[in-house]
Every structure is written in structure tokens, then in C-alpha cells.
């Protein structure tokens, strides 16, 4: 905790916390494409589900199903052929931007 002194010389505590969010990914493209199409028809866009290529495979990124977690619940790094899977920077940036607009 950090003590911060304000203009009136009062002391108050400020807490900083960082939340880890998991964003589910699915290989069920057809299922989620139908949902995307309905949202686009109704709202003119869909920024809660996106279809992108991850590890050379098409996948849906389900921003609408994101959930918070604690670091203690992370038990392994996802790997492909023994190599940790890295999300490309452009996909990281896109996902972060869409997620920030959602919450």
C-alpha cells in the first residue's frame, strides 16, 4: 500500500491491483461465425468475437467470455511441439484494444 498526501493534508491509502484475464479461444469457427453474423446484422459490427489465425490454424477469440483469474491458478504455458506459443504482437494489440473497449 502507498500513502498519498492530498491537498488538504489528509492521508489516504491507495491500493494497486493487477488482474489477469483469460480470453478463451475456440476452434469452432462455424458455430461462432453464425453468432458474429447475427451481431453484425443487428448492430453493424461485432467486436466481442473475432476470427484470427493462431499457430497456423483459424480460431475464434471469445472476448465476450473473458474471465479474471489469479496467477496461482496458472499451471503451465501452452506449447506447440514443445515450444511455448507466442501470440503475435499485432494480435496482442488488437485483442487488448477490443477488450479495453468492452470493459
Q: Is 40 a residue whose pLDDT tops 70?
A: yes
Grid cell 483469460 in the structure block, residue: 22
> Looking at 5-14, 47-56, 78-87, 88-97, which range is the least confident one?
5-14
Q: What is the DSSP letter of 56?
A: T
Q: Is 6 a residue whose pLDDT tops 50?
A: no
What domains lie within the chain, and their CATH numbers?
20-102 (3.10.129.130)
Overall pTM > 0.85: no
CB proximity list for 66: less than 8 A, separation 6 or greater? 21, 22, 23, 24, 99, 102
Amino acid at each position: 500500500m502507498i500513502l498519498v498526501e492530498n491537498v488538504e493534508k489528509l492521508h489516504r491509502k491507495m491500493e494497486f491491483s493487477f488482474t489477469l484475464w483469460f480470453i478463451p479461444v475456440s476452434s469452432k469457427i462455424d458455430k461462432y461465425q453464425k453468432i458474429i453474423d447475427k451481431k453484425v446484422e443487428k448492430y453493424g459490427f461485432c467486436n466481442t468475437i473475432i476470427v484470427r489465425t493462431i499457430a497456423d490454424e483459424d480460431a475464434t477469440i471469445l472476448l465476450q467470455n473473458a474471465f479474471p483469474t489469479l496467477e496461482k491458478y496458472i499451471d503451465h504455458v501452452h506449447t506447440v511441439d514443445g515450444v511455448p506459443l507466442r501470440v503475435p504482437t499485432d494480435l496482442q494489440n488488437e485483442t487488448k484494444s477490443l477488450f479495453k473497449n468492452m470493459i
